[in-house]
Structure 1
Amino acid sequence: MKIFSQQHIFGYSWEQVSSANWKKYPNEMSTHVIAVDVLRREIDPETNILKTERLLTCKQAVPRWLLTLVGGQEVSYVREVSEVDLKKRTLVLRSVNLTMNNLLFVYETVMYKPDPTNPTFATVFNQEAQITAFGSFKRLCNKIEEWSVDRFQSNASLGRAGFESVLNKVTNTVHEGESVLEIMTERVKEGVFLKNKAV
């Protein structure tokens, strides 16, 4: 198993980042994400935790040597489950690949929380991915895991840049002190989440 991790500070409030997260795709930098479908969404009336399950459809170049060895296709699917905790002011996203997970299993955790040194105007982004390849040949498994870490590194930098561009576009609509629950409830009513599908 190999682990990829990174931390980044976004110069936006947690409210702005949490709300912009639902409009993250499509963006011009993360072109490998071609569709996002909401499978389930509910707000716990006691805790005010918003839980969402989404299916992400991705298409990216897979090395020919890998396709030759294990088969498969360029289109893959990822299940993402997120929780927005208004009391703790955290957004946690957990995702796992559904495609070829008997050969390569990727479990990713992402957390957004206010920057303790500047909670009003900055948000800390933490990402960790546990990458495990399965097979009889350890050398081949290591090579697949190394390729996956490199791919994560490349996609992570593009993802940050893409999210920055999304944040720039939506920050005018999310103001300081505005309730994240109110924003999200309103957008659910408008059907915004259900229309969040890349083309």
Structure 2
Amino acid sequence: MKYYCVKSDFKNTWDEVVSAFWQRYPNPYSSHVLCEDTVFRNVVGNKLITKRIFIKTTRIPKWGERFISCKQVPVLEESVVDRDSQKLITYTRNISYARLMSIEEKCIYQVDPMNSQCTILTREAWFKCNLKGFASAIQRLSLERFKHHANNANKGLQFVIAKMLSARQNQVYSKSECWAGEEAKPESMMYKHLSVYSRILHVIRISIINHCCLLIDGRIASPSQVRLEGHKATARSLLPERWQQDKGSRRRPCCVS
């Protein structure tokens, strides 16, 4: 029997890593995983217990095809998510050809004690082959392949985390630009989402309305003037020089060419 243990760090919170764990397939680094299916799920207290089956492909050497003919192997994954201790523990093993070769894996995802914004993954694996005369070679080959797949599994999980966070940010950004609740927003929030040209048109429209109100009311401040007074300084900074008027001049442009 051979034993292997390795630790990996993720620069993401435990919640983000666990959220990505449930949707880590498919990804570009795990093309050998064909499908997955959840066969059991239960909540006991603050623990989520899940059993899933994965169908994975494996490359078999020529000399090993006489013992194993099928290249698709079902794998059972049992997991426990503990919210109290913030740990995700998984147990994975092959359920076919177990009499010839068995590979058991245990993974623990937990919060980094030195940095609560990071997550530590401890991965352990046990390899056992019952073929006399081939046990050592098969175990060594299985260990090398396991290291390769473990490295790709980490890359795939990081890929899913990045994709998940990017989608979340885009969703928040799209919601912030939605004008459905425009009336409930402060005008300053509405105004800062306008483009430069939209701001210019907005300021021109405000100036025309304000000017008309002053002419009609005899320079008595109207509600629109009070509400939009704060945009005068912005108008001076955004409009071209030929549109800006001296403080002492009473003439204003009536149109823009």
Could you say which residue in structure 1 is the equivalent of 2:71? 74
SS in 2 for 1:36: strand
Q: For residues 144-192 of structure 1, give each alpha carbon's deviation from its aligned partner in whole angstroms, at most 9, with x where no partner exists.
A: 00010011011111111111100101135779xxxxxxxxxxxxxxxxx
Could you say which residue in structure 2 is the equivalent of 1:65? 63
Q: For residues 73-128 of structure 1, give each alpha carbon's deviation from its aligned partner in whole angstroms, at most 9, with x where no partner exists.
A: 11001111000000000000001101111000111100100011101x10000101
Q: Return the structure number with greater helix share.
A: 2
Deviation at 1:135, TM superposition (A): 2.3
Could you say which residue in structure 2 is the equivalent of 1:2? 2
**Counterpart residue identity of residue 3, structure 1:** Y
Deviation at 1:40, TM superposition (A): 0.7
C-alpha distance in structure 1 between counterparts of 2:89 and 2:132, whole Å: 34
**Counterpart residue identity of residue 132, structure 2:** S
Could you say which residue in structure 2 is the equivalent of 1:105? 102
TM-score (norm 1): 0.81
SS in 1 for 2:143: helix
Give yes or no for the alignment of 1:170 onto 2:175: no
Residues 64-143 of structure 1 aligned to structure 2 (within 5 Å): 64-68=62-66, 70-119=67-116, 121-137=117-133, 140-143=134-137
Structure of greater relative contact order (alpha carbons < 8 Å, 6+ residues apart): 1
**Counterpart residue identity of residue 72, structure 1:** S
| Percent of pairs with identical residues | 27
Number of positions where the alignment pairs a residue of Structure 1 with one of Structure 2: 169
Change beyond 3 A, Cα 1:6–1:174: farther
- Rg comparison, structure with higher value: 2
Change beyond 3 A, Cα 1:12–1:51: same
Deviation at 1:48, TM superposition (A): 1.1
What is the Cα-based RMSD across aligned positions, in Å? 1.4
Q: Which runs of 5+ in 2 are unaligned?
A: 170-257
Alignment partner for residue 54 of structure 1, among 47, 52, 55?
52
SS in 1 for 2:80: strand
**Counterpart residue identity of residue 53, structure 1:** K
Could you say which residue in structure 2 is the equivalent of 1:183? none
SS in 1 for 2:156: helix
SS in 2 for 1:29: coil
C-alpha distance in structure 1 between counterparts of 2:168 and 2:39, whole Å: 25
